[in-house]
């Protein structure tokens, strides 16, 4: 996703909503990591990006549909994705930050990024977007631009990270999926088998025989 870096100074000081519809954002990493997941309905990510004195706030929503192998029987399982997230990425420590200004202001605002671990600089009791978030900088999402020319952000990488978290851990083709027979391997959703109620598989049978001899 190296082609998705955006110069922070191009984002308005009051924030901007970015929409990502390029399916390569999802399909590329799925292929790269060998994840058996198909996208029958386009995935869309909408991310509101808000520059702040200490870092950048990302507030997003990912929607769409995927298919994965059922955790019980291996058939196709369909899952709707509707995932929202908030993420705050602090600036790299010591970086010189040129923040965009509000529309009514004129000229850029240059600041020195606070060191990692530093919280808000507002008045007493004032909470900043950084409150409650980690102070570690994810350099795949925010970095010093090449040759030290300001800060760049990569919301597409963050969108992929959140998309991967939204995938179901144990997808099911249906809630009452009966799975595969552990003896003969038949799909019990499709046909009955003659294995009866004894579901002892080869491994369990070998173990039982070992116990009997002992």
Residue pair 114/128 in contact by the 8 Å Cβ criterion:
no
Residue that wins the pLDDT comparison between 27 and 129: 27
Residue that wins the pLDDT comparison between 153 and 111: 153
Residue pair 117/137 in contact by the 8 Å Cβ criterion:
no
Residue pair 130/88 in contact by the 8 Å Cβ criterion:
yes
Q: What is the pLDDT of residue 192?
A: 87
Residue 13 has pLDDT above 60, yes or no: yes
The stretch 112-127 carries a mean pLDDT of 41
Q: What is the pLDDT of residue 196?
A: 64
Closest by CA position to 116, among listed 133, 98, 99: 133
Q: What is the pLDDT of residue 208?
A: 56
74: left (phi over 0), alpha (psi -120 to 50) or beta: left
> Cβ contacts of residue 30 below 8 Å, gap of 6+?
37
In this structure, the strands spanning 6-7 and 16-20 are: unpaired
Token readout for 80 is 């709707």
Residue 22 has pLDDT above 90, yes or no: yes
pLDDT band at 34; cut points 50, 70, 90: very high
Residue 143 has pLDDT above 80, yes or no: yes
Angle, CA 208 vertex, CA 206 and CA 213 arms, to 5°: 95
Q: What pTM did the predictor assign? A: 0.75
Residue pair 178/188 in contact by the 8 Å Cβ criterion:
yes
Q: What is the pLDDT of residue 154?
A: 96
The stretch 169-191 carries a mean pLDDT of 93
Residue 125 has pLDDT above 50, yes or no: no
Q: What is the pLDDT of residue 150?
A: 86
Residue 42: helix, strand or coil by DSSP? strand
Token readout for 135 is 């102070």
């Amino acid at each position: 996703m190296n082609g998705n870096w955006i110069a922070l100074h191009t984002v308005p000081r009051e924030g901007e909503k970015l929409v990502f519809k390029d399916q390569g954002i999802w399909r590329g990493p799925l292929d790269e990591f060998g994840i058996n997941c198909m996208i029958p309905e386009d995935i869309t990510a909408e991310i509101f990006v808000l520059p702040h004195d200490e870092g950048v706030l990302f507030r997003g929503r990912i929607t769409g549909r995927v298919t994965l192998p059922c955790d019980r029987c291996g058939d196709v399982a369909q899952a709707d994705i509707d995932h929202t997230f908030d993420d705050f990425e602090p600036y790299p420590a010591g970086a010189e930050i040129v923040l965009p200004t509000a529309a009514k202001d004129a000229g850029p605002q240059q600041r020195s990024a606070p060191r990692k671990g530093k919280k808000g600089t507002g008045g007493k009791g004032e909470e900043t977007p950084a409150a409650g978030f980690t102070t570690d900088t994810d350099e795949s999402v925010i970095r010093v631009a090449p040759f030290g020319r300001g800060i760049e952000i990569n919301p597409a990488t963050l969108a992929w990270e959140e998309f991967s978290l939204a995938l179901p851990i144990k997808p099911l083709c249906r809630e009452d999926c009966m799975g595969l027979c552990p003896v003969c391997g038949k799909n019990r959703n499709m046909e009955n088998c003659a294995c009866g109620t004894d579901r002892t598989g080869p491994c369990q049978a070998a173990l039982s025989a070992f116990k009997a001899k002992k």
